[in-house]
A and B are shown apart, each in its own frame.
Chain A
Amino acid sequence: TQLLEQSPQFLSIQEGENLTVYCNSSSVFSSLQWYRQEPGEGPVLLVTVVTGGEVKKLKRLTFQFGDARKDSSLHITAAQPGDTGLYLCAGVWSGNTGKLIFGQGTTLQVKP
């Protein structure tokens, strides 16, 4: 069974602080996605990483895929209250017909 361990599960910080969310697995994933979800809505795709060692930036968000394609991180610089939400990593395991395996999620609260 492929599992994605996401940490931390809850994070409450002040506006302007930096934070990092981690996603780890013992399995090699063919790709990994990061989503953000608002209460009562579906997840919205932020980024997809495919290549080991890949780094992608989306404004103040930096995503990294581990060299071995078993782990990933999301770093937010100078967090703002608008960043508040549930962040989810999800991996596609090669050979599982495209099923997404989700991490436990990280609930982020950024206080003004």
Chain B
Amino acid sequence: GAVVSQHPSRVICKSGTSVKIECRSLDFQATTMFWYRQFPKQSLMLMATSNEGSKATYEQGVEKDKFLINHASLTLSTLTVTSAHPEDSSFYICSASATTGVQFFGPGTRLTVL
């Protein structure tokens, strides 16, 4: 099956700093990538949808200036959490889909903001 990777898998940062998370589709070209966040014992909540070469579409309540998404190529999307605060601590998961529409999920990134 298709493989999606995320880097880093874990990151700890100080409050006020910015953190970048990468999502890569390793063996296919992803026309669309999705970013989710997940709190402990809860389900996935979609944050934004990004298509290669265009601006991301954010879900209601997600601050686009806080969560910067760049989808520069068909195999890479990045999520930057700007001026992170403890309440941004969460598990961030990306998924990638090709023309079939089936989403393949990455392994997730655990962000802890001190």
Contacts and interface: CB of A to CB of B under 8 A. Distances in A.
A88 B44 contact: yes
B34 interface: yes
Contacts of B105: 35, 42-45
Given A98-B32, A99-B34, A43 B44 contact: yes
Contact of B102 (A40, A43, A48, A86): A48
Interface string A75-109: 00000000000101010100001111111110100
Interface string A12-31: 00000000000000000000
A42 B93 contact: yes
A88 B4 CA distance: 19
Contacts, number: 53
A45 B1 CA distance: 10
Contacts of B104: 45
Q: Which of A45, A86, A98, A107 has the most CB of B within 10 A?
A: A98
Contacts of B106: 42
A102 B97 CA distance: 16
A43 B94 CA distance: 10
Interface of B: 4, 6, 32, 34, 41-46, 49, 91, 93, 95, 97, 101-108, 110
23 contacts: A35-B105, A40-B91, A40-B108, A41-B107, A42-B6, A42-B93, A42-B105, A43-B44, A43-B105, A45-B104, A48-B102, A86-B41, A88-B44, A97-B49, A98-B101, A99-B34, A99-B46, A100-B46, A100-B95, A100-B103, A102-B45, A102-B46, A107-B41
Interface of A: 6, 35, 40-45, 48, 86, 88, 90, 92, 97-105, 107
